[in-house]
Amino acid sequence: MLRAIASALLMLPLAALGAGTVSNLSGTLSAQRADGSVVLLSEKSQVKEGDVITTERDSYALIRFPDGGQVTLRPRTQVKLDQFQFDKDKPAADGFVMSLLRGGLRTVTGLIGKRGNRDAFRMSTTTATIGIRGTDFTAIDIPPPPPGQTLPPDSPNPGVYVSVAEGTVAFRSGGADALVGAGQTGFSAAQNVPPQVIPPPPNLPQVAPPRSFEGSKVQAVVGPSGSAAVCD
């Protein structure tokens, strides 16, 4: 009986079993499932295709995926796992699509995007789309101020910032691509404006990593300047 159940589980799609696993967690992490239900996640919880995953204030989460990839979510971050498709024997069918809805994250890519279809990895943001060529990068979304309000004078300009630690990112908006290499920062101000490579802004929000993440391979969102960055 147990053998039959195990065999049936092996035949289930990966999304049914969970696309990724919460490896490290400090604070509060939740997921809105595709059916609209909302669940609190803990370490070892599974995330699934269609999940909208949210960290609260002062909360961090590290999610690992079966292809070896990992995503670290910063405080007040929300992402949607649109697609995760990985079969070690079928590289041509690979697919990883994630939407950064708000906040900031660090991504260390796994096998998806490094074998078979090089365009299998895609991350959408509020202003641009990110493609990779085997990389380690951070993405931070600085939202515009609410109507009738202005940003603080020390705030970076609204838009999406991508900082690359390793590899290359193809940053697309306004019908154009900007290739952002290791040690560089790309900026996209709006969907209809081409991105550009800029000096790393000194005024991006920064925060030290929590103690619970010490000793992990992914400790913080680190930009080219070496400081830990967070959208908070």
Residue 30 lies in a domain: no
pLDDT digits (tens, 9 = 90+) for 166-181: 999 999 999 999 999 9
pTM over 0.85: no
219 occurs within a structural domain = no
**CATH code of the domain in which 128 resides:** 2.60.120.1440
Q: What angle do CA 25, 15, 83 make, to 5 degrees?
A: 85
In a domain, 71, yes or no: yes
Looking at the domain assignment, is residue 97 inside a domain?
yes
16 within some domain: no
**Number of Cβ within a 10 Å radius of residue 128:** 30
Quote the number of domains for the chain. 1
Q: Between these two residues, 3 and 200, which has the higher pLDDT value?
A: 200
**Tens digit of pLDDT for each residue in 87-97?**
988 998 999 99
Strand partners, 81: 98
Q: Is residue 9 part of a domain?
A: no
Q: Is residue 100 part of a domain?
A: yes
Of residues 170 and 9, the one with the higher pLDDT is 170
Cα distance between residue 212 and residue 149, in whole Å:
36
Q: Of 182, 214, 179, give the one whose Cα is nearest residue 197.
A: 179
Asked if residue 230 is part of any domain, the answer here is no
Q: Which residue has the higher pLDDT, 133 or 79?
A: 79
Q: How confident is the model at residue 230 (pLDDT cuts 50, 70, 90)?
A: very low
In which domain, by residue range, is 185 found? 54-213
Query: What is the mean pLDDT of the segment spanning 79-105?
Result: 94
Per-residue pLDDT band at 211 (split at 50, 70, 90): low
In a 3-state reduction of DSSP, which class is residue 232?
coil
